Structure 1
Amino acid sequence: MLSFDRELKRESEKFDTMVSKVEGSYNTADVSYRKAESLENKIGPIEEQLGSLNQSVESMSQAITEKLAENTQNNTTVLSGLTGLEAKLKDIETTQEALRTKIATFEEQIQKLATTPPPQPQVQTEVVLPPIPIKRDKALAALTETEIAVLEMLSKEGPKTAPEIKERVHLSREHTARLMKKLYEDGYLEREAGRIPFRYSIKKEMEALLQKVEGPAAT
């Protein structure tokens, strides 16, 4: 009986020990649960903050990406502008080189002109054409009254130009020019070719012929 009581007491002590351990474990688990719950309460705001941070990071990343793209486009525009400026600078350099060449050429020409003696004035010599002989088949009877009047005018007043004769015979400029050319080509007149307008004079033999004709008429 004593042995049974001892065994029962021993088992009771074991049970109490187990109960104590269970209670201790329960208390430990409860504390751990409370700690876990407290941690969850603390982790919740942290997760929210992390979510906000992630959104901020994503926004910042997107903004940085857009800024980089904008900067890349701006850099491309700047590079294009620089390329255009380089081309313009090359054109300006080419133009300057051409101007330098022209200036050097002008300076050489000026130097040559400075060292070259001035040209001597040319003396114009009067060209006297050989007289055209009077054609034997031409006579005073073949001339018009105007042509005879021109011959008499030149015989009495000396050499004259076609414009001067035009004013006296009251013909047009073209008509007078044709008349004087005809008398010259037919051999009645001489012409000074060294000046313009030409000066016409009557030939000596024609002047003598007029005097012979006028002589009998006067008697």
Structure 2
Amino acid sequence: MVLELSFLSVDVVILGVLAYVIGLVSVMAYQRYAPKRSDSRSEDAVAEAIVLEYTRRLKEYDRAISEIRARLDVMDMRLPAGAPSHTSQVGSYARVVSEPVTVTQHQPTASIEGQNGTTDYILKLLVEKNLTSRDVKQAIGRTREHTARLMKKLTEAGFVERQVNSKPFRYTITEAGRMRLKGKAEAVPASEIQQAAV
């Protein structure tokens, strides 16, 4: 059974195969390059969002700079005309720095002994319960740095002990601290306590 396809010539077959191949290649090319265009659109959107964000930030910075300039102008207007400028002070600082500086070291216990009632107040608080440096800061109403320096001096003097096994560190009063409080209480006569109460 041989099929006769006499109506098909070689030219018709070649043109059909060629049209099929061209169609296949054009579909593959379209599929390959079409997603690239959508990716470039998303990249453009991301770039535009970044540019908008930086533009917003620059506007905020410009606004802040203009506010600072306005404040500086107000301060310059309040400054008396005869007041010395900052540039003239630079020379005096340079002269002070070039002079020799003597450094003296003090005993830490001597500075604790001369302290005002803040030290005793902290020790009294620590008698009641162990405190963190934040608790001490809130109780005495000083800055964190001031409280840290004070607690360091008390620790070095032996009045307070830092418990480093837990965070935040807690401070406890030592026997030396208790003796200091007892010594202060005994040093004040009863008549002064009664006068202070009145």
The verdict on a shared fold, with TM-score over 0.5 as the criterion, is no
Higher gyration radius (CA) = 1
Q: TM-score, normalised by structure 2?
A: 0.39
Return the structure number with greater relative CO, CA threshold 8 A, min gap 6.
1
